[in-house]
A = this chain, B = another copy of it.
Amino acid sequence: MVIKVHGPVQSPAVLKVIACLKEKELDFELVHVNLPAGDHKKEPLISLNPFGQVPAFEDGDLKLFESRAITQYIAHTYADKGNELLPNDPKEMAIMYVWMEVESTKFDTPGFNLSFEIALKPLFFGVATDEAAVTENEEKLGKVLDVYESRLKESKYLGGESFTLADLHHIPVANYLMGTKVKSLFDCRPHVSDWCADILARPAWSKALDYLSAETEKLPHEYGLCISRLINMG
């Protein structure tokens, strides 16, 4: 049984899954989805993800979508492989879920919007960055990172003293933002800055970045060039 991940590996949501698979040292097959060609709105993807989004995921006959549901499945099902990504204690597990929800409902939108405005829009679509949107999202992200700074004074990671899925889910967007001026929002908060450096330095994330580079090289030159610039920014 081969695990299959459907999506362009450059998508932050797809990279959440790849990062998790690398932490677990699991083999997988990537099925590239050409977003500019609209492949996410066609078969076979639309049957795997009825919202026509990436990623989609297969493990034998199990078909999943939604990146955070996929990483939870991987972390629970392959608990004995690679690095532990879940706490053992039920109370610590509950606290991890709190911070997973925070990433999903508070961090991800301003974080992704900033990656999109500053990096993706000019690089991929040749459209100018909307500076008002950048300011608005920087304000939102700054308030979220204020709470993270307080939290990370109490514990090394968001869920407690161990790295968990709650931290992992931040890596792809944080990685992209490190190559932009938004990095200063992380740098000026010392505990956030240390946490971010720590999670981006994980060996599994280095492997995910190597994989991202290798996959990007397979893409048509112009598309790949844009992606390479984006990766190198992060």
Contact = CB atoms under 8 A, between A and B. Distances in A.
Contacts of A90: 73, 76-77
A68 to B, nearest CB: 6
A94 B62 contact: yes
A100 B51 CA distance: 14
A102 B66 contact: yes
Given A65-B98, A69-B97, A51 B150 contact: no
Contacts of A72: 94, 97
Interface residues of A, number: 28
A37 interface: no
B147 A100 contact: no
A76 B97 CA distance: 12
A65 B91 CA distance: 13
Contacts of A100: 69
Contacts of A97: 66, 68-69, 72-73
A88 interface: no
Interface string A83-107: 0000000110111011011101110
A64 B94 contact: yes
A76 B147 CA distance: 27
A121 interface: no
A72 to B, nearest CB: 5
B91 A62 contact: yes
Contacts of A105: 66, 104
Interface of A: 50-51, 62, 64-66, 68-69, 72-73, 76-77, 90-91, 93-95, 97-98, 100-102, 104-106, 147, 150-151
